[in-house]
Amino acid sequence: MQRRSFVQASLALGSLGTLVGCASTGRIPEKARVVVVGGGYGGATAAKYIRMLSNYQIDVTLIEPNSAFVSCPISNLVIGGSKTMADITTPYDKLSGNHGVNVVRDYVASIDAAKKTVTLASGPSIRYDKLVLSPGIDLVLNSVEGLQAANASGHILHAWKAGPETLALRKQLVDMDDGGVFAITIPEAPYRCPPGPYERASQVAHYFKQHKPKSKVLILDANPDVTSKGPLFKKFWADNYTGILEYRGQHKTVAVDAKTKTLKFEVQGDVKADVLNVLPTMRAGTIAVQSGLANANARWCGVNYQTFESTLAKDVHVIGDSILLAPGMPKSGHMANSQGKVTAAAIVAQLSDLPVNPDPLLTNTCYSFVSDKLVVHVASVHQYDAKDKTYKTVAGSGGVSTAPNELEGVYALNWAQTTDRTTVISITSDAYAWVPGDADWDVGVPEVSTRDSVNAARESQIAIRAKQRVGV
C-alpha cells in the first residue's frame, strides 16, 4: 500500500470538508472534554475543528477574556489609516452559535496538568481530557531599558497585539507634525510575524506620502537584513518611498528615553524621533511560561510536532506563536491556523482510540501590504518527518510574489476575515483494491484554471482515474 498526497489539489480546494465525514467517532468516550485557552488564529481554529471532526461529540470550552477577536493581520492598515478597527474585529458568537463551542470570558490563572484542571481568574476550575494552549506571545518590555515605564505611560508603544495600542499609535502619527520622524525598532528573530514590521513601516510611509510628505520613516532592525521578503520590500521602497523611508540593519535597541524621545543601541549611536514604535524581545504567552511549559530558553514551548503535545505535560497541546519553531516555520497567523487543524485532528484521533496521522502537513502564507492596496506574499508547505521528528519544508512548495499586486490584497483580506483559507489533506487509501501500485483520494480539482499547479493536479487525477478498477 502506498500513499498519494494531492497537495496541489488540496491547496487549490482549500477545504477540510472531506475529512469531517471520514473519521469514525464511535469510540469517543462520553462527555469527552477539551479546553482551549486563547481565541486567536490557533485556538479558535482548534476549538472549531475539534467540534467538527468529532461530529460534535466532544465538548469544547474556549477560554478567552475578550468578547471579540481582533486580528493582528490587517491591523497595520489601521495604523496606516486605510482600515478601521471594525474591519479587523470578529465576535466569538459564531463559534458558539454555529459550532456549539462554550466560550468563557475569563483568564486562566493556573494549570494543574496532573489533575487535568484549569483554574480561572474568577475562581472556578474546569476539568479537561485534553488541553490546547494558544496564548500567543507576550512582550518582554524589560528587555529594553526604560520601555516598561514608557509603555505604561503611553509614550512609547509596541502595538504588536491588535487593540487599544493600535489606535493609540495611529493617533500619534496623526498628531505628529509634517516633517517629523517615525522610528520603528525590530528585535532579533524569532518574533511574531517576520514581515510585520516592514509592512507597518510601508503603511506609515504610504500615509506620509499622501498626507505628510515632509515626514520620514526610519526602520532600525536588530537583524542584519530584512527577515522576510527582503528583495520585494526593498524594491518597492526604492521605487515608491525614496526620501521617505530608510532601512538600517544591525541596530539592536537596548534602551529608550521617553522624555527626550531617544533610542539607544548596543553599538550604534543614539537616534531621536518624534514617534517611537519599539518592538522588544518576545516570548510565549504568560500562562505558558507560568505553567513551566516554556522549556526552550525560558521563552518558547517545546512540543511533539506530530500532535503539538507539550514535551513536558501529557495531554497539553501548545500551538501558535508560543511554540519553539521547527526549521523554516514562521510565527504567523496562518501557521497557527494550520497547527490548530493538525492538533484538532490529532486530539480527535487520540480520544477516539484511532491512529494519529503519521505525517501531517502544514501550510503557510504571509501577505504583506506595501501600500493600501498592493500586496506581496510568501508561502510554504511543511511536512512532518517521523524520522527526525520535525517539520521540513517541502521542496518546490510555496514561493514569493513576482511583484506587488492588488489581487493578493483581496486574498489577504478574505483570509484574515475567515481565518480558514487553506488546508492540505493527506489520506491513506486501499491501493490493492482500487488502484494497482498506487492510491488516491478523489478530491475535486477544477477543470479549468490559470494556475499551473492546479492544472497539473487535474492531469494527475485524470491519469490515476484511468487506472482505477471500476466496480471492484
pLDDT tens profile 252-280: 999 999 999 999 999 999 999 999 999 99
Does the CA dihedral 16-18-61-292 come out positive or negative?
negative
Q: For 418-471, how does the pLDDT look when each residue is reduced to its tens digit (9 = 90+)?
A: 654 434 333 344 444 445 555 554 555 555 555 566 667 667 766 766 665 544
> Mean of the pLDDT values across residues 6-23?
34
Q: For 49-89, how does the pLDDT look when each residue is reduced to its tens digit (9 = 90+)?
A: 999 999 999 999 999 999 999 999 999 999 999 999 999 99
Shared domain for 221 and 292, answered yes or no, is no
Q: For 132-185, how does the pLDDT look when each residue is reduced to its tens digit (9 = 90+)?
A: 999 999 999 999 999 999 999 999 999 999 999 999 999 999 999 999 999 999
Q: Which of 221, 253, 280 is the C-terminal boundary of a domain?
A: 280
Q: β-pairing, 59-63 with 245-248? A: unpaired
Grid cell, residue 390, equals: 520535525
Which has more confidence, 242 or 463? 242
For cell 506620502, what's the residue? 209
> Mean of the pLDDT values across residues 343-360?
96
Q: Which of 280, 315, 338 is the C-terminal boundary of a domain?
A: 280
Q: Are 99 and 61 in contact (CB under 8 A)?
A: no
383 strand-pairing partners? 361, 392
Whether 386 has a pLDDT exceeding 60, the answer reads yes
Is 306 a domain residue? yes
**Number of domains forming the structure of the chain:** 2
Identify the burial level of 308 via C-beta atoms within 10 angstroms of its C-beta, where 0-12 means exposed, 13-18 middle and 19 or more buried: buried
What per-residue confidence (pLDDT) applies to 20?
Answer: 37
Is 386 a domain residue? no
Which has more confidence, 472 or 312? 312
**Amino acid, res. 206:** H
Shared domain for 222 and 103, answered yes or no, is no
Shared domain for 276 and 296, answered yes or no, is no
Rounded to the nearest 10°, the torsion over CA 161, 167, 170, 174 is -170
Whether 14 has a pLDDT exceeding 90, the answer reads no
pLDDT band per the 50, 70, 90 thresholds, residue 8: very low
Grid cell, residue 41, equals: 488564529
How many percent of the chain have pLDDT more than 70?
83
Q: β-pairing, 181-186 with 275-278? A: parallel
Is 390 a domain residue? no
Give yes or no for a cis peptide into 190 (omega within 30° of 0): yes
User: 43-53 and 333-351 are packed helices; what angle lies between their axes, rounded to 10 degrees?
Assistant: 30
User: 196-211 and 230-240 are packed helices; what angle lies between their axes, rounded to 10 degrees?
Assistant: 10
Measured from the Cβ of residue 339, the count of other Cβ atoms closer than 10 Å reads 30
Shared domain for 275 and 319, answered yes or no, is no
Helix (H, G, I), strand (E, B) or coil at 24: coil
What CATH number did the domain enclosing 108 receive? 3.50.50.60
Shared domain for 271 and 151, answered yes or no, is yes
Which residues fall within 8 angstroms of residue 160, CB to CB, at 6 or more apart? 72, 137, 139, 192, 196, 279, 282
Shared domain for 151 and 276, answered yes or no, is yes
For cell 492531469, what's the residue? 459
How many percent of the chain have pLDDT more than 90?
79
What per-residue confidence (pLDDT) applies to 417?
Answer: 75
Distance from C-alpha of 293 to C-alpha of 166, rounded to nearest angstrom: 30
Q: What angle do CA 382, 386, 388 make, to 5 degrees?
A: 85
Please report which helix (H) or strand (E) contains residue 132, including its range. strand 130-133
Report the Cα–Cα distance between both ends of the chain, in Å, rounded: 17
Q: For 149-163, how does the pLDDT look when each residue is reduced to its tens digit (9 = 90+)?
A: 999 999 999 999 999
Shared domain for 186 and 253, answered yes or no, is yes
- What residue numbers bound the domain in which 86 lies? 17-138+283-357
Which has more confidence, 440 or 107? 107
Shared domain for 259 and 299, answered yes or no, is no
Is 468 a domain residue? no
pLDDT band per the 50, 70, 90 thresholds, residue 415: confident
> Mean of the pLDDT values across residues 114-141?
98
Shared domain for 324 and 233, answered yes or no, is no
Is 363 a domain residue? no
What per-residue confidence (pLDDT) applies to 416?
Answer: 81
Distance from C-alpha of 3 to C-alpha of 440, rounded to nearest angstrom: 7
Shared domain for 272 and 289, answered yes or no, is no
Q: Are 341 and 303 in contact (CB under 8 A)?
A: no
What per-residue confidence (pLDDT) applies to 29?
Answer: 72
Q: For 322-339, how does the pLDDT look when each residue is reduced to its tens digit (9 = 90+)?
A: 999 999 999 999 999 999
Q: Which of 333, 357, 381 is the C-terminal boundary of a domain?
A: 357
131 strand-pairing partners? 35, 316
- Average pLDDT of every residue of the chain: 88
Distance from C-alpha of 195 to C-alpha of 284, rounded to nearest angstrom: 19
Closest listed residue to residue 115, CA positions, set 127, 105, 103, 106: 127
Which phi and psi (to 5°) does residue 143 adopt?
-75, -15
Shared domain for 122 and 153, answered yes or no, is no
Distance from C-alpha of 37 to C-alpha of 42, rounded to nearest angstrom: 10
Grid cell, residue 328, equals: 523554516
Distance from C-alpha of 118 to C-alpha of 35, rounded to nearest angstrom: 8
Is 329 a domain residue? yes
Rg (CA), the chain: 23
Shared domain for 152 and 274, answered yes or no, is yes
pLDDT band per the 50, 70, 90 thresholds, residue 17: very low
Is 200 a domain residue? yes
Is 448 a domain residue? no
What per-residue confidence (pLDDT) applies to 467?
Answer: 64
Per-residue H/E/C for 288-342? HHHCCCCCECCCEECEECCCCEECCCCCEEECHHHECCCCCCCCCHHHHHHHHHH
Distance from C-alpha of 325 to C-alpha of 423, rounded to nearest angstrom: 20
For cell 507634525, what's the residue? 177
Q: Are 361 and 382 in contact (CB under 8 A)?
A: yes
pLDDT band per the 50, 70, 90 thresholds, residue 16: very low
